[in-house]
Amino acid sequence: MRDSQPKTIYLKDYQVPEFLIDHTDLHFTLADDMTTVRSRLSMRRNPESKTQDASLVLHGQDMQLQAVTLDGTLLSASAYKVDEESLTVASVPDSFVLECETLIKPQDNTSLEGLYRSASMYCTQCEAEGFRKITYYLDRPDVMSLFTTTIVADKAAYPVLLSNGNNVDSGENSDGSHWVKWEDPFKKPAYLFALVAGDLEFIEDSFTTCSGNDVTLRIFVEAKDLDKCDHAMQSLKRSMKWDEETFGREYDLNIFNIVAVDDFNMGAMENKSLNIFNTSCVLAKPETTTDAAFQRVEAIVAHEYFHNWSGNRVTCRDWFQLSLKEGFTVYRDAEFSSDMGSRTVKRVEDVNFLRTVQFAEDAGPMAHPIRPESFMEISNFYTVTVYEKGAEIVRMIAHLLGKDLFRKGSDLYFERHDGQAVTCEDFVKAMEDASGKDLSQFRRWYSQAGTPQLAVSGRYDEVTSTYSLTVKQSCKTVQETPKAFHIPLAMALLGEAGALRLQLQGAEPNPDSADNTELVLDVTESEQQFVFENIPERPVPSLLRGFSAPVQLHFDYSRDELMFLMSHDSDGFCRWDACQQLGVLALKDMIAAYQAGQDMQLEPRLLSAYQHLLSDESLDKSMVALMLSLPSEAYMAGIMPKADVQAIHIARMTAKVEIADQLQALFLQAYKANTLSQPYQANEQQIAARSLKNTALHYLMLSETEEALALCLAQYQQAQNMTDSMAALSALVNSSFEQQKQQALADFYQRWQSEALVVNQWLSVQAGCYLAGTLDKVKALMAHPAFDIKNPNKVRSVVGAFTANAVNFHHQDGSGYEFLADQIITLNALNPQIAARLLGPLTKWQQYKDESAALMRKALQRIMAQEQLSKDVYEVVSKSLN
């Protein structure tokens, strides 16, 4: 057990800072054994602070304080006090200059937070609270300061020295070192500070903003990666243009830099004018990068760029408001991706992710509202709830206000709060003020955790030609039963010949009711009834169109109604979801049969639906590929109480093999029809074709015919791009063609061993193999020279991929859980953020059958018993054992 429990921080305890920092002058001397940081802070008392304490408390940890100077006078040791987490200066005047000299060791910093080394370079990650590992500071987002940064380093080893803002001066010293001084003209909180030093090369381009400013754009990488920067650069330029056109946001400096770093805890970071990226989120070229990764690079480049307004110009008052910038920015990047590609495909992918991962978080012990009320370690709250559910809340506001008023609201928000650190409430208020809409009940989405359940039933009355929908909402969370949410429920009623005109009883007849076939119902009470008049036939309701709210919808559709929606609904999301829900019913039948020891029969309607999807050439290929994918094992586990992972896996595999065998000819036809001859492009049409072709390959390989094997091997050998290469490799790895599999794996490694990101894919396809014996292979991979426990991408590729591999992770002997516990104990000492993040799958023990749950708890208890638990791991383990 950890000897002291970390302190819990509460939103309700927020107080304005006692001091402000007008100017922050930093001076870094980077040397192999030690880095010296000198800071000069121009500070004053905050006129808005009510407390009048004489002392000053600065955050700081993991460093060695050399000297403190107050207004030019060196302080004696009795004038200040240092502990593990802070520096307290006993007495300071109302306005003063504080100078500190500290020593840090970036080369030993494995937490990848603060200043650290990655390969041969130095870099930083300060969000959320990493700056306090660099120097003593008021490390909180509502303290905004003007920064200048001077970096001194050996010129040969570190020719490139970068920080935020503009390069204002530079020079060389006689000892072989050189220095560069950077000045950021925008006030910013310390979490947006960045520094990079290394032997880097760059590609350069430029962008002219809408008011004619020329911006130099550079992407810095190690020399070997220069050929993988183009896609990110094009994505950046598209993002800059899109933000001008869609949100009226113009870039505000003449320089914008991106740096790629191999050791990085998250995806990327929006430091002012110096974005730092995980290599996996910026590098891309067809030979090494899959379609999915190309799309991820575009989305993340956009996300970080968009933060320049939603995050940097207007930032968060405190970390409880994290969703203010993250929810809004994820919404913005999703809109951008929708405009660059297929809106429906993007929506389906996002909803699928939210329903699988975020709903599980909401149902688990770490459930929290998008604006949490307390935390021990803020890093644990960079979650799918704050990010993805947060984006859904913004999406609902946009939907409720409509396009023009939403834009008005966002303009008002940026104008009103430019240069400030604000709250989620400020955002909602701006939306309300600009639109005149009342969002008071809507605000509950910010403070209440849990996934609302929407139980809907319909009744058609032939005599009165009315159709009534009864909508009941409920929501259970671990802590409480929340009050009713304001849920926008987009819907239509479908008749034989198409969507019916909607006239809601008691509502004003809509002036353009002639083509009013979709309505957004305001669900605001625990139970409500909506009656539609002049409905000439018994309709099939199309509900939660476009996934208009992050809720779990329950409507007792018959299987024939789902078939009808799948082919007739004009809403692409609902068409996909009807197919998923038919898949859910089919799988539930088979799971029940398996558990009862009976024969598993595949729902014949599903087979005929798939047959239709494969035969209709007019359908969107990406959508066909998505609809041909059965609900995932994780999704099934999430909707079945006390999930039986083995049963789910066996039922789903049986269904897939049956589909593969029955529709072999059609899959072969789809495979051939979608094999492209043109050179690779990461565009919508090609991605759609490859996705359908590789879905077909996946099914063909499940039949394990010689013909399929030949096709797969030919694809593997001839592939000109990583999408096709990985699809073939993955099909082989999960097949029983042992010899071909081993040969391909060896060949692949041989070919790509010098490309870290490709090797990571090689690791993860093996760790994700659903066949028996994977855990032993995973252990062997961890001893392979390609593995490195200090590199988060590698840990995610092996340990992360293994925990997502449900049937192996949840092996009934508990070996998967014990393995994960071992890794967490190791990582706890090296990189607490990654350790806590990997814990996720173990914390959801309540969702599994009793035998599994008991073993999962046992593994958690073993972690809990460790002595040196980091705050990060302690918080997650202790909350999940409660």
The residue among 638 and 800 lying less far from ligand ARG, judged by its C-beta, is 800
SS3 59: strand
Nearer to ligand ARG, 266 or 587 (CB): 266
Q: Which is nearer to ligand ARG, 571 or 872 (CB)?
A: 872
Adjacency order of strands within the sheet including 195-198: 114-118, 121-125, 195-198, 160-163
99 or 326: whose CB is closer to Zn ion? 326
Rounded-to-integer distance, Cα 607 and Cα 612, Å: 9
Phi, psi for 710 (deg, rounded to 5): -60, -40
| Residue 220 binds which of Zn ion, ligand ARG, none (CB < 5-8 A, kind-dependent) | none
Smallest distance, Å, CB 357 to ligand ARG? Answer: 16
Q: Measured from the CB of residue 307, what is the shortest distance to Zn ion in angstroms? A: 6
DSSP 416-446: HHTT-EE-HHHHHHHHHHHH----TTTTHHH
Q: How far apart are CA 78 and CA 162, in angstroms?
A: 37
Nearer to ligand ARG, 304 or 724 (CB): 304
CB of 172 to ligand ARG, least distance (A): 35
Give min distance, CB of 191 to ligand ARG, in A: 8
Produce one character per residue of 312-322: b if its CB has 16 or more CB atoms within 10 Å, e if not: bbbbbbbbbbb
CB of 329 to Zn ion, least distance (A): 5
**Nearer of residues 375 and 809 to ligand ARG, judged by Cβ:** 375
CB of 213 to Zn ion, least distance (A): 24
Nearest-5° angle of CA 720, CA 725, CA 232?
Answer: 70
266 vs 712, which CB is nearer to ligand ARG? 266
Tokens standing for residue 358: 């975020």
Q: Which residue number, 158 or 319, has a Cβ lying nearer to ligand ARG?
A: 319
The kind and range of the H/E element at 470 are strand 466-474
Looking only at residues 312 through 331 of this chain, which bind Zn ion when binding is defined by CB under 5 A? Answer: 326, 329
| 752 backbone dihedrals φ, ψ, rounded to 5° | -115, 10
Query: What is the 3 state secondary structure string of 850-869?
Result: HHHHHHHHHHHHHHHCCCCC
Report, in Å, the least distance between residue 746 CB and Zn ion: 39
Smallest Cα–Cα separation from 525: which of 482, 486, 470? 486
Cα 125 from Cα 265, distance rounded (Å): 9
The interface partner of residue 633, options being ligand ARG, Zn ion, none and the CB cut-off 5 to 8 Å by kind, is none
Whichever of 326 and 633 has its CB closer to ligand ARG, that residue is 326
Residue 373 CA to residue 322 CA, distance in Å, equals: 12
User: Taking the complex as a whole, how short is the minimal distance between the CB of residue 313 and ligand ARG, in angstroms?
Assistant: 15
Residue 270 CB partners (closer than 8 Å, separation 6+)? 192, 303, 304, 305, 307, 308, 311, 312
Read off φ and ψ for residue 769, nearest 5 degrees. -65, 130
Query: What is the three-class DSSP state of 491?
Result: strand
Q: Which is nearer to Zn ion, 300 or 744 (CB)?
A: 300
Q: Which pair of tokens denotes residue 126?
A: 């300060």
The distance of closest approach from Cβ of residue 795 to ligand ARG in the complex, given in angstroms and rounded to an integer, is 15
Q: Which residues bind ligand ARG (CB under 6 A)?
A: 127-128, 266, 268-270, 303-304, 326, 379, 382
Left, alpha or beta for 498 (phi > 0: left; psi -120 to 50: alpha)?
Answer: left
How far is the C-alpha of 511 from the C-alpha of 42, rounded, in Å?
Answer: 62
Nearer Cβ to ligand ARG (62/183): 62
Q: What is the 3-state secondary structure (H, E, C) of 574-633?
A: HHHHHHHHHHHHHHHHHHHHHHCCCCCCCCHHHHHHHHHHHHCCCCCHHHHHHHCCCCCH
What does the longest C-alpha to C-alpha distance in the chain come to? 96
Helix segments in 39-132, DSSP class H = none
Q: Mask of contacts with Zn ion, 279-318, x by CB under 5 A?
A: ----------------------------------------
Which entry of Zn ion, ligand ARG, none binds 269, CB below 5 to 8 A by partner kind?
Answer: ligand ARG
| 527 carries an active-site annotation | no
Cα 743–Cα 744–Cα 745 angle in degrees, nearest 5: 95
**Least distance to Zn ion, CB of residue 70, Å:** 37
With CB cut-offs between 5 and 8 Å by kind, which of Zn ion, ligand ARG, none does residue 266 bind? ligand ARG
| CA atoms within 13 Å, Cβ hemisphere of 360 | 23
CB atoms within 10 A of CB 511: 7
What does 490 bind: Zn ion, ligand ARG, none (CB cut-off 5 to 8 Å by kind)?
none
CB of 300 to Zn ion, least distance (A): 9
Residue nearest to ligand ARG (CB): 382
Evaluate whether 380 touches 266 at the Cβ level (below 8 Å): no
Give the separation between CA 19 and CA 246, rounded to whole angstroms.
Answer: 38
231 binds, among ligand ARG, Zn ion, none (CB under 5 to 8 A by kind): none
- 525: which DSSP letter? S
**Which entry of 113, 127, 304, 392 is annotated as an active-site residue?**
304
Cis, peptide link before residue 670, omega less than 30° from 0 = no
In the complex, least distance from residue 267 CB atom to Zn ion, rounded to whole angstroms: 8
**d(Cα 507, Cα 510) in Å, to the nearest integer?**
8
The interface partner of residue 350, options being ligand ARG, Zn ion, none and the CB cut-off 5 to 8 Å by kind, is: none
Residue pair 165/272 in contact (Cβ under 8 Å)? The answer is yes
127's contact among Zn ion, ligand ARG, none, with CB below 5 to 8 A by partner kind, is: ligand ARG
Comparison of 638 and 832: residue with beta carbon closer to ligand ARG: 832
Q: What does 294 bind: ligand ARG, Zn ion, none (CB cut-off 5 to 8 Å by kind)?
A: none
Distance CA 46, CA 599 (A): 73
Q: Is the dihedral of CA 339, 340, 344, 349 positive or negative?
A: negative
**All residues at 6 or more sequence positions from 618 whose CB lies less than 8 Å from its CB, including other chains:** none
**What is the set of active-site residues?**
304
> Which residues make up the interface to Zn ion (CB under 5 A)?
326, 329
